[in-house]
């Protein structure tokens, strides 16, 4: 494994900029979910970083659970097929559920996930996503909390991977096209 920075063309968001924005989102969630005992649902694997940071910036108590779905596999394009790899461990009926995602790209993963979760009749169902690509979104996702809207480039870091790599880069970087072409 070599230095991650060598494979990046640019850094779109520094760790400090990400942290600043997470603090703001946490403040909004604190207010909106006071007294509601929310259940944060992280979408493995990408959401591990935002989940860990966001929940620790909250003042209110929350529960956490995880689902694992994958639509990208080892490529840079959504396969369009969402593979369901791991279900929740708890019943979400009548719970206030906040789905936590690293990024909304085409929106296919979340639209699949939201209809799956909605059928279990939670008390409420909202989404917090750290990044969104407005130019790539192919479905309308009602996303209550957004970190940053970003350009339509292949980005890695802060949980986002290329073929399983680069997730542990602390900021958000644009991968050099040579790396995946």
Interface residue list for ligand PRP (CB under 6 A) = 43, 45-46, 70-72, 78, 101-109, 161
- The answer to whether 169 contacts Mg ion (rule: CB under 5 A) is no
For residue 69, give the nearest of 87, 51, 53, 90 by alpha carbon. Answer: 87
Shortest distance, position 161 Cβ to Mg ion, whole Å: 4
Q: Where are the alpha helices (DSSP H) in the chain?
A: 15-32, 48-57, 108-118, 177-180
Per partner kind, with CB cut-offs from 5 to 8 A, the member of Mn ion, Mg ion, ligand PRP, none near residue 106 is: ligand PRP
Per partner kind, with CB cut-offs from 5 to 8 A, the member of ligand PRP, Mg ion, Mn ion, none near residue 17 is: none
Nearer CB in complex with Mg ion: 17/70: 70
Per partner kind, with CB cut-offs from 5 to 8 A, the member of Mg ion, ligand PRP, Mn ion, none near residue 107 is: ligand PRP
**Which listed range, 8-16, 67-75, 104-112, 114-122, lies at the site for Mg ion (CB under 5 A)?**
67-75
Q: Which residues contact 11 (CB under 8 A, 6 or more apart)?
A: 171, 172, 173, 174
Shortest distance, position 72 Cβ to Mg ion, whole Å: 4
Element (H, E) at 8: strand 8-13
* Among 105, 142, 149, 163, the one annotated catalytic: 105
Shortest distance, position 16 Cβ to Mg ion, whole Å: 24
Which residues sit at the interface with Mn ion, rule CB under 5 A? 46
Shortest distance, position 163 Cβ to ligand PRP, whole Å: 10
E strands along 49-179, which residues?
A: 63-70, 83-86, 96-104, 124-132, 145-149, 155-156, 172-175
Sheet holding 124-132, edge to edge: 83-86, 63-70, 39-44, 96-104, 124-132, 145-149
Judge contact between 174 and 12, C-beta under 8 A. Answer: yes
Using DSSP's 3-state secondary structure scheme, residue 119 falls into coil
Residue 105 appears among annotated catalytic residues: yes
For residue 152, give the nearest of 135, 175, 132 by alpha carbon. Answer: 135
- The answer to whether 72 contacts Mg ion (rule: CB under 5 A) is yes
- The answer to whether 166 contacts Mg ion (rule: CB under 5 A) is no
What are the catalytic residues? Answer: 105
* Contact residues for Mg ion, defined by CB under 5 A: 72, 161
């Amino acid at each position: 494994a070599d230095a991650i920075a060598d494979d990046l063309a640019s850094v779109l968001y520094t760790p400090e900029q990400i942290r600043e924005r997470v603090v703001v989102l946490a403040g909004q969630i604190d207010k909106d979910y006071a007294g509601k005992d929310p259940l944060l649902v992280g979408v493995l694997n990408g959401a591990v970083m935002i989940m860990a940071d966001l929940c620790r910036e909250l003042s209110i108590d929350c529960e956490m659970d995880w689902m694992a779905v994958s639509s990208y596999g080892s490529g840079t394009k959504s396969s369009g097929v969402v593979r369901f790899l791991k279900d929740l461990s708890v019943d979400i009926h009548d719970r206030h559920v906040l789905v936590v995602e690293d990024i909304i790209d085409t929106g296919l993963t979340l639209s699949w996930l939201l209809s799956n979760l909605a059928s279990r009749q939670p008390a409420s169902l909202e989404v917090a996503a750290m990044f969104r690509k407005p130019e790539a979104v192919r479905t309308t996702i009602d996303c209550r909390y957004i970190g940053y809207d970003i350009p339509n480039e292949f980005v890695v870091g802060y949980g986002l991977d290329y073929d399983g790599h680069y997730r542990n880069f602390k900021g958000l970087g644009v991968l050099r096209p040579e790396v995946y072409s």
